[in-house]
């Protein structure tokens, strides 16, 4: 009987640290992605209703494998309101062509991507000819208690369909 207890005790003493090691090594795979969650962006009052988009950083907690970073910039969005409208439009600042950062050209009242010269209208439509296969990617947006939140997603670039990355 003593031998059996010793064997069980020894087995548990051996397996527990091994199981803990396996559990920790799989930690990044167990974590939920921050993708496709609504993230607070700005006060609606900081998006003037003049039809001109404004750029805002997207801030969220980020995890890189086993390391966590609190309140890090993970991207950027453009928010826009038409004159006299409470409705906010949101676009990701990532170009659908190859992922460069889209810039706002205030003088010519359009968006431009500096990498391969794609152009977009202020409401995100594509200006032909542009190498981008689609218009700017819109993001779901909600305004609650004076705060704008967007459903943050990344999309595949270089294809005609707007397809969210997992
Ligand atoms: S990445 Fe924007 S035009 Fe190519």
pLDDT at 128: 95
Residue 112 domain-assigned?
Answer: yes
Residue 75 domain-assigned?
Answer: yes
CA of 95, closest atom in ligand 1: 2
Report the alpha-carbon distance of residue 61 to residue 64 in Å, rounded: 10
CA of 99, closest atom in ligand 1: 1
Burial class (CB in 10 A: 0-12, 13-18, 19+), 152: buried
Based on the fold, state whether residues 37 and 25 are members of the same structural domain.
Answer: no
pLDDT at 154: 95
DSSP bridge partners of 119: 112, 127
Question: Which residue's CA lies nearest to atom 3 of ligand 1?
Answer: 116
Mean of per-residue pLDDT scores for the chain: 87
**Residue whose CB lies within 8 A of the most ligand 1 atoms, among 98, 126, 134, for a mutation test:** 98
pTM attached to this predicted model: 0.79
Residue 164 domain-assigned?
Answer: no
3-state helix, strand, coil split of the chain in percent (to 5) is 20, 40, 45
pLDDT in tens, 37-46: 899 999 999 9
* Residue numbers of the domain that contains 16: 1-30
For position 62, which CATH number holds? 2.102.10.10
Q: How far is CA 23 from the centre of its chain?
A: 28
Residue 163 domain-assigned?
Answer: no
Q: What's the 159 CA to ligand 1 centre distance in angstroms?
A: 12
pLDDT at 101: 98
Residue 131 DSSP label: S
pLDDT in tens, 63-107: 777 788 888 899 999 999 998 888 999 999 999 999 999 999 999
Q: What's the 117 CA to ligand 1 centre distance in angstroms?
A: 6
CA of 118, closest atom in ligand 1: 3
Q: Does 33 score more than 90 pLDDT?
A: no
């Amino acid at each position: 009987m003593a031998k059996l207890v010793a064997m069980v005790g020894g087995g548990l003493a051996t397996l527990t640290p091994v199981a803990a090691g396996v559990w920790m090594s799989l930690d990044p795979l167990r974590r939920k992605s921050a993708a496709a969650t609504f993230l607070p962006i700005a006060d609606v009052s900081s998006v003037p209703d003049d039809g001109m988009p404004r750029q805002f950083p997207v801030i969220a907690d980020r995890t890189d494998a086993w390391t966590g970073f609190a309140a890090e910039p993970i991207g950027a969005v453009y928010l826009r309101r038409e004159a006299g409208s409470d409705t906010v439009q949101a676009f990701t600042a990532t170009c659908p062509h190859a992922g460069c950062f889209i810039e706002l050209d205030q003088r010519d009242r359009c968006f431009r991507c500096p990498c391969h010269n794609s152009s977009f209208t202020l409401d995100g439509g594509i200006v032909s000819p542009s190498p981008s296969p689609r218009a700017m990617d819109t993001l779901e947006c909600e305004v609650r208690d004076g705060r704008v939140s967007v459903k943050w997603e990344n999309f595949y670039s270089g294809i005609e369909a707007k397809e969210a990355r997992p």
